């Protein structure tokens, strides 16, 4: 069930998303947040950091689980999602390192996937933040991913690698070929979903998610079957609704 909130622009989207996130954080003794990387959540994260600095919102009792991580990069590499999260959120809210979780992209990958899934089952995610790809992907679950998938290893599509090459080229490095992602079923276990999308490039995916058929060809369309989804979009991303 969707609660769709349409706002003017990215700043308004980020402020609105912050309200939803803060309500969950305030409502629990030990909130569990599912988090995302990418450009969509950065404004929300800036709001969380500003609020922490101004109002002292405490993150020492908060647990976080990220959607995905590249395979084969050292944790501290500048392009890992581990680094992205520390730079864009974790340092700014002073969350203890032992409270944050990302899939581990090194070592025994199958075991890492199973361990990650188990850790989330033990606590249950209170709110899962999502962006959406222009092809309807959520996490690294590209079109065609089974709706019953759990945390798993994915081979990145050539298009996705090309999209991300701009970050790796200056380092003289290749984009990794694989990643670990929460599966669709993993994402659906969260009590609440918060999806944010901005810009006309997302308009078709947003329309497909909300009004299209529920199909594995549009991974986000499965959210039609989730009981509590808040979608916050700017006018450009809402233009095909």
Binding residues for ligand F6R, per CB under 6 A?
A: 36-40, 67-68, 131-133, 137-140
Q: Is 142 a catalytic residue?
A: yes
Nearest distance from residue 29's CB to ligand F6R, in Å? 27
Residue of 16, 137, 152, 234 with catalytic role: 137
Cβ nearer to ligand F6R, comparing 63 with 194: 194
Contact indicator for 127, 34 with CB cutoff of 8 Å: yes
Cβ nearer to ligand F6R, comparing 53 with 119: 119
- What phi, psi does 51 have (nearest 5°)? -65, -40
Collapsed DSSP state (helix, strand, coil) of residue 197: strand
Residue of 16, 68, 69, 126 with catalytic role: 68
Nearest distance from residue 54's CB to ligand F6R, in Å? 26
The CA distance from 172 to 219, in Å, is 33
Cβ nearer to ligand F6R, comparing 25 with 145: 145
Residue of 52, 99, 115, 135 with catalytic role: 135
Burial of 189 (0-12, 13-18, 19+ CB in 10 A): middle
Q: Which residue is nearest to ligand F6R (CB)?
A: 131
The CA distance from 22 to 28, in Å, is 10
Q: Is 137 a catalytic residue?
A: yes
Cβ nearer to ligand F6R, comparing 69 with 126: 69
Cβ nearer to ligand F6R, comparing 14 with 40: 40
Nearest distance from residue 223's CB to ligand F6R, in Å? 13
Burial of 54 (0-12, 13-18, 19+ CB in 10 A): exposed
Nearest distance from residue 35's CB to ligand F6R, in Å? 8
DSSP assignment, residue 202? G
Q: Which helix (H) or strand (E) holds 234?
A: strand 229-234
Residue of 117, 142, 152, 234 with catalytic role: 142
DSSP assignment, residue 86? I
User: Buried b vs exposed e over 65-97: b needs ≥16 C-beta within 10 Å?
Assistant: bbbbbbbebeeebebbbbbbbbebbbebbebee
Nearest distance from residue 32's CB to ligand F6R, in Å? 17
DSSP assignment, residue 88? I
Report the catalytic residues: 68, 135, 137, 142
């Amino acid at each position: 069930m969707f609660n769709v909130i349409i706002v003017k622009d990215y700043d308004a989207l980020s402020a609105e998303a912050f309200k939803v996130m803060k309500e969950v954080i305030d409502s629990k003794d030990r909130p569990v947040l599912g988090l995302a990387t990418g450009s969509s959540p950065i404004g929300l994260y800036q709001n969380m950091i500003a609020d922490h600095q101004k109002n002292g919102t405490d993150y020492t009792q908060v647990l976080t689980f990220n959607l995905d991580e590249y395979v084969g990069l050292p944790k501290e590499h500048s392009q890992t999602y581990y680094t992205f999260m520390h730079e864009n959120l974790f340092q700014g809210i002073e969350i203890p390192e032992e409270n944050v979780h990302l899939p581990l992209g090194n070592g025994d990958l199958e075991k890492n996937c199973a361990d990650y899934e188990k850790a989330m089952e033990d606590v249950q995610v209170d709110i899962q933040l999502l962006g959406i790809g222009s092809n309807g992907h959520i996490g690294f679950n590209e079109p065609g991913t089974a709706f019953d998938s759990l945390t798993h290893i994915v081979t990145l599509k050539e298009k996705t690698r090309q999209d991300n090459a701009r970050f790796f080229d200056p380092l003289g490095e290749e984009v990794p070929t694989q990643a670990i992602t929460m599966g669709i079923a993993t994402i659906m276990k969260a009590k609440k979903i918060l999806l944010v999308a901005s810009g006309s490039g997302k308009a078709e995916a947003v329309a497909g998610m909300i009004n299209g058929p529920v199909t594995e060809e549009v991974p986000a369309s499965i959210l039609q079957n989730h009981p509590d989804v808040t979608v916050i979009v700017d006018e450009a991303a809402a233009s095909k609704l």
